[in-house]
């Protein structure tokens, strides 16, 4: 039972938190850019989002 719990925890819970941390970092990076920087990077230079 404990082995099943640990297996599920490692496969489902830990990756969820890793993805959540990456998403928060990306959010902060996008929200703190000025409008001119955002337009230059993502509109003019056509950089991919992720």
Would you write out the chain's pLDDT as a tens digit for each of its 50 residues? 888 888 888 888 888 999 999 999 989 988 998 989 988 988 888 877 66
Q: Which two tokens stand for residue 48?
A: 């991919």
Nearest 10 degrees: CA dihedral of 19, 25, 29, 30?
Answer: 40
* 46: alpha, beta or left? (left if phi > 0; alpha if psi -120 to 50): left
Question: Alpha carbon 49 to chain centroid distance?
Answer: 11
Q: What is the pTM of this model?
A: 0.63
Write down how long the chain is: 50
């Amino acid at each position: 039972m404990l082995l099943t719990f640990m297996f599920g925890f490692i496969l489902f819970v830990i990756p969820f938190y890793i993805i959540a941390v990456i998403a928060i970092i990306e959010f902060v990076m996008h929200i703190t850019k000025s409008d001119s920087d955002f337009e230059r990077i993502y509109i003019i230079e056509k950089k991919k989002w992720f």
